[in-house]
Chain A
């Protein structure tokens, strides 16, 4: 069955003078999914997101959201969209509660129930003044404002920067939103974050889309790097399984990349006395190198 598309970007190009913001980018976000939008700083994530919200004019291409034209029907679209900007300021010298109520009123809503529960879960004090907030608390205000209106689509531009416990709570909130049928499109420059929360990921680099993939597939393809330090001798052969690559020995440590069959590796490790162990997700740059090396970069290969 064809998935209902919430965001449909077709051949989007945005130029800033001679500088390319985004080039010929096509991407769809399906209803009910959490789509991660991954790329290093300056890759064009914010440009794409802000084009969807008609904050930027397009140089070329089409964007439809809920089947509506992103520019012509922008106001209608925004009635059903919550948005957390990557960088934003608050109205100074008002209480957070008044500020959020004001934003609610701009959305034509007066129900503060969800605002209250979100603030409570994120431990945001609504009685503080907006100009007295720390960076983390400001981000919480941003998160609450993007979710409190209970819109069908939530767009978030790099919603990271909370402390680890709060970040986990934030992910739980997002998963609950998803269960209620919400569609979430969030950008990040952190692969681990995208892996932990998203169903699919679109990777962008230098204004061009490199790949769109299911998270499981991506994880299989890229794998994770395991480094083990032993207290006893070992052979590389012991760890040669299907789904394990790049096995090598370095200074008495074992280094390998696991794509699947983590279980087999763990079992093999249990025969040894282990001093230290480290499982690493690839950094974004390593991920790109991998994609380039494997020739899956498509048109992005000229970079």
Chain B
């Protein structure tokens, strides 16, 4: 008889819960990018006359900065003051002359402010045209990212929360495993353990279904559910990013690849859930252990970033192998990581089938 009937029955009886969860995931996935513009604006300083002054930064340190400003009719000359505080208490004079555009070498690292003044005549004080800064706003995460706790999470990558990529990576991806991973953990345990608890196994195994097929069908159901959730995440996130016109900065392709990378991650969690369900045959016990597994893996991953001597912790954490930062920040999808987790899930499932074949089904 056709493979998939047991899996299909799970989806059929559980579609309502899945739909509700799916809607929740859409709301969260689409909602988080929507918060971004407000968040960024709250960090960006309102500099006086900023619209009249334009500062173009070079990509490389040591290249030229180009500063230009609007012509002011009565001005006889212009003066550019430079300071590392917007208050300009201790400025240097960067330029004095008739040009409305200047270029100079970026030979500093810190944030600097430039006040462009118009000199009208010899007797009156110069008038401010506008202020520009080498950085747009203050990123509160810049310092935090150097903290080992975050460095462990981000792989030491430097990015800005003022960019949509950085914001979504840190505010959405870095905790979405709690949403999806724990849901998969809960479901994979209960899909099998509840068959034990509700005494459905005897009828199931009076049909010509082998234990291997039973496990494979449940695992298939879990994979389909995981795929559904990931697709819903992708759709929600793309929708959210499109709503704030940010798809040119954070492409739909990057969303797709970064979240597809979580599929084998979720498969491993499902396999662990199935394993604990078969071993303990109780929903509560299985869920407790599977949840503990997910959290332990997460902490291993972050602790692993604390120092070189703790790196081995990272290696044995499944979180290392779903490197969404790599896709989002470095534009690199790690096929090897994807395969490592897939193989791990398959090995776990094969093992649990072997165990289940030798176990009694309790009454």
User: Could you tell me which A residues sit within 8 Å of B by CB distance?
Assistant: 46, 50, 53-57, 74-76, 78-79, 81-83, 85-94, 102-103, 105-108, 142, 145-146
Within 8 Å of chain A (Cβ to Cβ): is B146?
no
Within 8 Å of chain A (Cβ to Cβ): is B13?
yes
Contact A145–B203 (Cβ < 8 Å)? yes
Contact B208–A57 (Cβ < 8 Å)? no
Within 8 Å of chain A (Cβ to Cβ): is B354?
no
Assess A106 versus B199: contact at CB under 8 Å? Given A56-B360, A92-B13, A93-B13.
Answer: no
CB neighbors of A among B193-230 (8 A):
198-210
Cβ of B1: which chain A residues have Cβ within 8 Å of it?
105-108
Q: How far is the CA of A83 from the CA of B363 in the complex (A)?
A: 14
Cβ-neighbour of B208 out of A55, A79, A94 (below 8 A): A79
Contact A83–B210 (Cβ < 8 Å)? no
* Tier of interface size on chain B: 20 to 34
Which residue, B2, B13, B201, has most C-beta atoms of chain A within 10 A? B13
Cβ of A46: which chain B residues have Cβ within 8 Å of it?
363
Q: How far is the CA of A57 from the CA of B357 in the complex (A)?
A: 9
Q: Name the residue on B nearest A107 (C-beta).
A: B207
Cβ of A74: which chain B residues have Cβ within 8 Å of it?
210
Within 8 Å of chain A (Cβ to Cβ): is B136?
no
Assess A78 versus B200: contact at CB under 8 Å? Given A91-B9, A102-B5.
Answer: no
Q: How far is the CA of A165 from the CA of B200 in the complex (A)?
A: 28
**How close is B360's CB to chain A, nearest CB, in angstroms?**
5
Within 8 Å of chain A (Cβ to Cβ): is B361?
yes
Which residue, B2, B202, B204, B360, has most C-beta atoms of chain A within 10 A? B202
Cβ-neighbour of B203 out of A81, A92, A103 (below 8 A): A103
Contact A53–B9 (Cβ < 8 Å)? no
Additional A-B contacts beyond A85-B202, A86-B363, A106-B207 (19; CB < 8 A): A46-B363, A53-B202, A57-B358, A57-B360, A75-B208, A78-B207, A78-B208, A83-B202, A87-B199, A87-B202, A89-B198, A89-B199, A91-B9, A91-B13, A92-B198, A94-B13, A105-B2, A106-B204, A142-B203
Contact A82–B360 (Cβ < 8 Å)? no
Cβ of A79: which chain B residues have Cβ within 8 Å of it?
208
**Chain B contact residues, majority secondary structure:** loop
Assess A146 versus B206: contact at CB under 8 Å? Given A57-B358, A106-B1, A107-B1.
Answer: yes
Q: List 17 A-B contacts (CB under 8 A).
A: A50-B361, A55-B202, A55-B360, A56-B361, A75-B208, A79-B208, A86-B363, A88-B202, A94-B12, A94-B13, A103-B203, A106-B5, A106-B6, A106-B207, A107-B1, A107-B208, A108-B1
Q: How far is the CA of A76 from the CA of B5 in the complex (A)?
A: 18
Contact A83–B206 (Cβ < 8 Å)? yes
Assess A88 versus B199: contact at CB under 8 Å? Given A78-B205, A78-B208, A105-B5.
Answer: yes
CB neighbors of A among B265-300 (8 A):
none
**How close is A42's CB to chain B, nearest CB, in angstroms?**
12
Which residue, A86, A88, A92, A107, has most C-beta atoms of chain B within 10 A? A88
Assess A87 versus B363: contact at CB under 8 Å? Given A105-B1, A106-B6, A107-B1.
Answer: yes
Cβ of A50: which chain B residues have Cβ within 8 Å of it?
202, 361, 363
**How close is B15's CB to chain A, nearest CB, in angstroms?**
11
Interface string of B236-266 (1 = CB under 8 A from A): 0000000000000000000000000000000
Q: How far is the CA of A35 from the CA of B9 in the complex (A)?
A: 35
**How close is B216's CB to chain A, nearest CB, in angstroms?**
14
Assess A81 versus B206: contact at CB under 8 Å? Given A55-B360, A57-B358, A91-B13.
Answer: yes
